[in-house]
Amino acid sequence: MAITTGIRLSLGLFVRPIAATGIGFGAISLVLAIGQFWWGAVQPLFGLLAERISAQRVLIFGGLLLGSGLALAPLFPNRTGLLFTLGILSAAGAGAASFAILIGAAAQRLPPERRAFASGVINAGGSLGQFLMAPLVQMMISTWGWAIAMWGLAAAGFASIFLARPAAGPVSAPTTISAARTTSAREELSRAFRDRSYLCLHLGFFTCGFHIAFLVTHLPSEIALCGLPSQAAGVALGLIGLFNIAGSVLVGWLGGRFRMKILLAELYAARAVVIVIYLFAPKTVTTLYVFSGALGMTWLATVPPTAGLVGKLFGSSRLSTLFGLTLFSHQVGAFFGAWLGGVAMALSGSYDWIWYADVALAILAALVTLPIREAVPPSPRPAAISTPN
């Protein structure tokens, strides 16, 4: 998770260097937006495949696609070439070794009371990768250029193949899986999309994707507009990842003790508050780093409660597929976040109206999360005391 997410969330650092080659800011933004969309689109497909042929094989295939796409990108530095390498190949590879497959595989090997915390730990791995890779990628781009930096990421992508072995271990949740085999995948999907709570999760995750893709794609450009040094972009993305390690683990731990829909609503609301404060604060390096840390606490911390709610609603056996579908909605929002950020920049020279749209969507996500149906486990009753006749 650290490798695949660290790579994916560092690609925004390549926007300006690649655009400077003559491809254009709007074109490279569109390529990465398509990559965001494709990353989400393949996850339910790979999730279903993992449930049928094993997560290990899917993870190995994903590592091959990820490394190949990144390695080929500098060899085809034009719109069509980058669309195929970054927008299709590497995005599909990152999707095959991402949240839906990893969390789904772990959930089938753990008892229900440990799944929320485990998903938080797995999610924190992605944040660790962002924390480590973003400053390193920024340094490589500044020192050797974007092509060498891209090949460095390709090597990391291929290395992820060797981490797939644990996914071949035995499944330790046989009761859940055997019960789920009484219904087909088609029946499960039909039931899920008739459930209002599941649809609310999709809508909330759509706004989450808009927010994250806009920032990872365009935060370096926002920093440049503010007149701050380019090195600040790598540090800012790294701080987001560092603080999200704590946020993911904390929310995963809280998910086993409090209602997950309340945690999810609070995360979305907190994002709106943090962005509003940033918009009215002076644009200094200190402000940027404080903003990055505050934002990092909520960044991908939405994943554990969302995956947990899907598991509560439908069980763990179809979690890779059903959670993968919510990630697809997440990436539909990500497509618009990455693309419209580029459109706003091209038309107006600033991101102002995208920031305001982001605040509105965060508030909407908090509101639609509250009606989600989440069963509260009954509190244990004291044992009855029998009295002799």
pLDDT tens series, the chain, 389 aa: 899 988 988 888 898 899 888 887 778 888 988 988 898 888 888 888 887 888 889 999 999 999 999 999 999 989 999 999 999 999 999 999 887 788 878 877 888 777 778 888 887 888 888 888 888 998 999 999 999 999 999 999 999 998 887 766 555 544 444 444 456 667 778 888 889 999 999 999 999 989 988 988 888 888 888 888 878 888 888 888 889 888 888 888 888 788 899 999 999 999 999 999 999 999 899 999 999 999 989 988 898 898 889 888 887 667 778 888 888 898 889 889 888 888 888 888 889 899 999 999 999 999 999 999 876 544 444 444 444 44
Domain annotation covers residue 150: yes
Q: At what angle do helices 112-144 and 99-107 cross, to 10 degrees?
A: 150
- Domain assignment of residue 382, yes or no: no
The pLDDT score that the predictor gives to residue 170 is 54
* 292: its two tokens: 């990055």
pLDDT at 274 (0 to 100): 94
95 within some domain: yes
CA–CA separation, 333 vs 342, rounded Å? Answer: 14
CA distances from 87 to 34, 152, 298, 372 (A): 5, 18, 26, 34
Let me know if 47 is exposed, middle or buried by CB neighbors in 10 A (0-12, 13-18, 19+): buried
Q: Which domain holds residue 232?
A: 2-168+183-369
Query: Is residue 381 in a domain?
Result: no
Rg (CA), the chain: 21
Within a domain: 176: no
Residue 375's pLDDT is 62
pLDDT value of residue 292: 92
Report DSSP letters for 268-287, one per residue: HHHHHHHHHHHHHS---HHH
Give domain status of residue 375, yes or no: no
**Residue 272: which CATH number?**
1.20.1250.20
Q: With the CA atoms of 82, 128, 111 and 378 taken in that order, what torsion angle do they form, in degrees rounded to the nearest 10?
A: -100
Alpha carbon distance 345, 274 (integer Å): 22
Residue 163 lies in a domain: yes
The span from the CA of 60 to the CA of 189, in Å, is 27
33 vs 331: CA distance, rounded Å: 9
Say how far apart CA 343 and CA 200 lie, in whole Å. 28
Dihedral angle computed from the Cα positions of residues 209, 78, 137 and 101, in that order, rounded to the nearest 10 degrees: 40
**Which residues, 6+ apart, have CB-to-CB distance to 91 below 8 Å?**
8, 34, 35, 36, 38, 39, 42, 69
The answer to whether position 12 is within a domain reads yes
Contact 44, 318 (CB under 8 A): no
- The number of distinct structural domains making up the chain is 1
Tokens at 136, concatenated: 């390193």
For residues 144 and 136, the answer to whether their CB atoms sit within 8 Å is no
